[in-house]
Structure 1
Amino acid sequence: MKAIPRMSMADAATESLREEIAAGNWPVGHRIPPETALIESLGVSRTTVREAVRGLVHAGLLQPRQGDGTYVVATNATEVALRRRLLTATHDDIADVRRGLDVIAARLAAERRTEDQLKHLRQTLDARAAAGAALAEEDFATADVAFHLAVAEVSGNDVLAELYSSLSEAMALDLKGGQCFSRFITGQHDWHEGLFVAIRDGDVHAAATAALALIDNAGAGEGEIG
């Protein structure tokens, strides 16, 4: 019989808090119970509770707010770690990762898209165009990332969509102040529309080609991706 591993009180308390977050009992944006309530419900000391909370703060799942308690800011520590790493990655490294993800996402999206999903893709592109016309660069970047994330979601592959979601913050930082926005407002060729048309038409090869062209050409000369 396999021995049951022993856990310290702090580890056990940390795991209990993590389970509450993972189960959705404490969703993102939710303030966790006050320290006294946690002490009572867990049956541990104040020191143990503080150590458990501190561990989850360090993992990126919780965030203390001065005078307002501690809030849930993420549900998955692995995803938090990946996002932190991506924010320090180079443009070229992110582009290399996106070449793999975008081609797969585009091909699958062309195979699996539904009419409702096509409508959503169209809406993200329209929002992007409207932001560009209004010279609203931040809104443009938000809509641009939303389009790419939507393509990943249309692929029907949940793992791919989650990986792409982790890239979204780094992508938004790349887009702000970059060539993708300037190319759009000066009327230069925009590969996003071509990708949408290929997905809409169910053309797997054209979708993959458009996805690669978008990454390789949208920010030529600056290393930027769009």
Structure 2
Amino acid sequence: MAVTTGSERARATLAYLRRKITTGDWPVGERIPIEPELAEQIGVGRSTVREAVRSLASIGMLETLPGRGTFVRSSTPTSTLLNEFLVDFTLEEILSYRRALEIEAAQQAALHRSDDDLEALEQAAADELGCNRCPVFTRGAESSAFDSRFHQLLFDAAKNRLLAALYAGINEQLRSPEHRGRLANVATATEMERDHARVLDAIRRRDFIDAVHSMADHVDHDVVIVSENQVKQPLPRTPEQEERIAQVRDNEASRA
């Protein structure tokens, strides 16, 4: 049996734990095995396991709760690191980046979705009928609601873990207290249902072009900045440009 150094064992242990998390063997929210079990599984000492857990906790992937155990908090370190990075950017810049992620996710979902993904998206769209706070809180609400199941499943269907991790990080930043009261959803429940139906139809038909246009239209009003009772449009357009967008929307509606 080859003899390994302490540093090699530490790196191997860290890689083992990280792999369990990133592959989904240990899903987000699940409690991981206790320290003695992990030490036996990996073949290292408990102190080596303890140090690896601390390392992953420091980047937000694990969290140890006294008396309860250690839980998976993120499938990647992206959310934690991204949060620290985003503090140097304006809310407008953050929302612009979020828009780009959602549009790309819609495109990739149309190309890569499975039948199971489609079924889950259809169920989520049905479950969220009548919801007019997707995916953010209505103005003045006490708690954020960046948890639209439809949007989360859209990123799952895209089959791109980095897109999903970046999106989770963006949403985490937008939940922060400094943005509370500055964001609102200006679409009605009917408009939200219409938007989701259009995105879903494009994904169902595997039409990535329609998916891009439908999602671009949707994100224009699902998260907006409100300042002094005025809605700040994310992308100001001329009346002529708005008319062209309306024509495209009507064409898609007549084809559906």
Identify the TM-score tier after normalising by the shorter chain: 0.5 to 0.7
Paired residue for 2:15?
A: 19
Q: Which of 200, 203, 209 is the matching residue for 1:199?
A: 203
Tell me if structure 1 keeps the 8 A contact 2:18–2:56: no
Q: Secondary structure at the match of 2:63?
A: strand
Instruction: Give, in angstroms, the shift of residue 114 of structure 1.
Output: 4.8
Q: Which runs of 5+ in 1 are unaligned?
A: 1-6
Instruction: Give, in angstroms, the shift of residue 126 of structure 1.
Output: 1.8
Q: Which amino acid aligns with 2:219?
A: I
Deviation sequence 1:166-218 (CA, Å, 0-9, x none): 445446679987532x6335x55653333223333444333212222222233
1:124 aligns with 2:124: yes
Report the identity percentage: 23
Deviation sequence 1:49-74 (CA, Å, 0-9, x none): 66554433323233232234444434
Structure 1 residues 36-115: aligned runs within 5 Å: 38=39, 42-43=44-45, 51-78=51-78, 80-82=80-82, 85=85, 90-115=90-115
Point out the structure with the larger helix share. Answer: 1
Change beyond 3 A, Cα 1:13–1:56 = farther
Tell me if structure 2 keeps the 8 A contact 1:198–1:204: yes
Structure 1 residues 75-224: aligned runs within 5 Å: 75-78=75-78, 80-82=80-82, 85=85, 90-132=90-132, 141-143=146-148, 146-170=149-173, 178-180=183-185, 183-185=187-189, 187=190, 191-222=195-226
Q: TM-score, normalised by structure 1?
A: 0.64
Q: Which runs of 5+ in 2 are unaligned?
A: 227-231, 235-256
Paired residue for 1:4?
A: none
Instruction: Give, in angstroms, the shift of residue 79 of structure 1.
Output: 5.1
Deviation sequence 1:112-139 (CA, Å, 0-9, x none): 4454433322222222225559x99879
Tell me if structure 2 keeps the 8 A contact 1:87–1:169: no
Q: TM-score, normalised by structure 2?
A: 0.58
Change beyond 3 A, Cα 1:169–1:118 = same
Q: How many angstroms apart in 1 are the aligned matches of 2:37 and 2:123?
A: 47
How many residue pairs were aligned?
211
Q: How many angstroms apart in 2 are the aligned matches of 1:36 and 1:156?
A: 32
Q: How many angstroms apart in 1 are the aligned matches of 2:10 and 2:26?
A: 17
Change beyond 3 A, Cα 1:83–1:128 = farther
Q: Which amino acid aligns with 1:150?
A: L
Instruction: Give, in angstroms, the shift of residue 104 of structure 1.
Output: 2.5
Instruction: Give, in angstroms, the shift of residue 15 of structure 1.
Output: 2.2
Instruction: Give, in angstroms, the shift of residue 43 of structure 1.
Output: 4.5
Paired residue for 2:34?
A: 33
Q: How many angstroms apart in 1 are the aligned matches of 2:128 and 2:144?
A: 7
Q: How many angstroms apart in 1 are the aligned matches of 2:94 and 2:216?
A: 14
Q: Which amino acid aligns with 1:33?
A: I
Q: Which amino acid aligns with 2:151?
A: H
Q: How many angstroms apart in 1 are the aligned matches of 2:205 and 2:37?
A: 59
CA RMSD, Structure 1 to Structure 2 (Å) = 4.5
Q: Secondary structure at the match of 1:183?
A: coil
